[in-house]
Structure 1
Amino acid sequence: MATSHKRETARRTPRAAVLAGSLAALATTAVVTGGVLNSSAPGADLVAVDRSKAAAGSVGDSGRRLPVLSRSADRSADAIGTELDALLSDDATAKAVAEADQRRWTAAPLNLWTRPDKRAKQVGEIEVGEKVLLTGRTYGERAEIVLDGKSRWVTAGHFSDEKPATLGGACTNGTSVPANVSASIKKVHEAVCANFPEVRVYGTLRGGGGDHPRGRAVDIMISGARGWEIANFVRANYSALGVSYVIYAQKIWSVERSGEGWRGMPNRGSATANHYDHVHVSVF
């Protein structure tokens, strides 16, 4: 019996020791848990890296995911950029310039641009009545011409197979303007009459405000495409005719803002008020 009692006693751990061991285990668990919660977990970062690699195909040095670009969103822009780059490449441009063989007359003053998109720089202007060499290449609203052996881009749609009218000649259709209008208005009438004899009505002096009562304005009664030919003819010869500004089809061109070309005007409510049935010319 004594022997049995000794074995049982040997197997038991004192109660105080058991309690101390439990407290130590709890303390260790708390320390480990707190360390995990309050520190960056290398294992978790590596998982994030692996997942981001699978999803985005690229991960930064810090292990953070890099933004993923949508391929479909930029596909059209890339296509446009590739098309324009190919069009403006040195080889393509040199070939277009060398093979250009179409000659036409400019029907309006045109700004010259280095390229056909928004990154273009204006490098001059070509007057109406100039014979130019076209390559036949276009992009958007621009057409390519060859000037002094270089590629230049201008607004398309302003070329003619026939040489535009120039100053000179005599008015033979019997029209006239009052003797007391300005000398510049007389020049405008003579030039337009000589080159566009189909115009039979010229409005000059009238009441109200503006340049008409002072004899410094004339309304050239015309409409349609022919009206644009007259408007651009007067604009091209503004210096010789003493012109200040021209209005036609709800657009205005003025000497003071000549670099802006034809500018839109507010709607005044009728064809006459918006200058669709006549070209208005004011002089200095």
Structure 2
Amino acid sequence: MADHRHKRDTDARRKPRAALVAGPLALLATASAVTVGVLATSPATTSIVATGASADLGGAFTGVRQRSTISRSSERLPARRLAKADRAYEARVATQRAVKQAQDKLWTTTDLNLWSDSADSATQLGEIAAGKQVLVTGREAAGRTEVVVDGASRWVTSGYLSEDKPVAAAAGLSMAPCPDPGVEDGLVQDAVYVYRSVCHAFPQITSYGGWDAHGEHASGKALDIMTTDKALGDAIASFLQSHASELNLYDVIWWDRIWTPERASEGWRDYGNHGSPTADHMDHVHVSTN
């Protein structure tokens, strides 16, 4: 066999260096052009690419939004605190003004708790005894009245302050409040004293007649103690007679009879027929003060 030896042409597949560089660049340019074209013509692809980019960034966009929300919340928190502080400051100023301008004085008609403010959550800061005169600011809230004690604002339960100095209860008498304070509406202080004393001495009595527009009742000095029980009415009348001086009584009328301190030596006198059991005081003990 003939021995043919062929020398391999080492440059047979070798391309110029420029061609090696130009090829990949051309391919890259082509891919870029295709991508740009697709993105430009396909909104759906744009959306998909944006979502993918967000995911590839490890939630970076989501993180930015979260930081923004936290920032706005943190900005609102100090604002709320400032608003609360402003309201508290305004309340303190209003209280200081009310205390400074207080001029009217009223009397306490019973022992009263002193509260830090009018709210249900108020702190009790002591007591004030009955028969004490206190400055009032004129402010009321939630069933309480603001008073001034030792130069400070305090609140007491409304309804137990009076323009008149209360009468100190004698032995056997009382100035403690009764279950139905509405009876006292329109009554003078002496009549209130009679009502409270009878109320506590005879708790079985549940009905009273106070102020109305006729007779002695129109002056606020009279009280009707409602009962048809003769024995109970006699006991009440006797109680009133025995305390006539302390209660400053003008008269007592019961069971068609009348008694007055000025003519006490005459005892009970005939009252006369006035036309009905009520007019003749057969269903109530009538008492009035001077």
- TM-score class, shorter-chain normalisation, is 0.3 to 0.5
Structure with the greater alpha carbon radius of gyration: 2
- TM-score where L is the length of structure 1: 0.38
Q: TM-score, normalised by structure 2?
A: 0.37
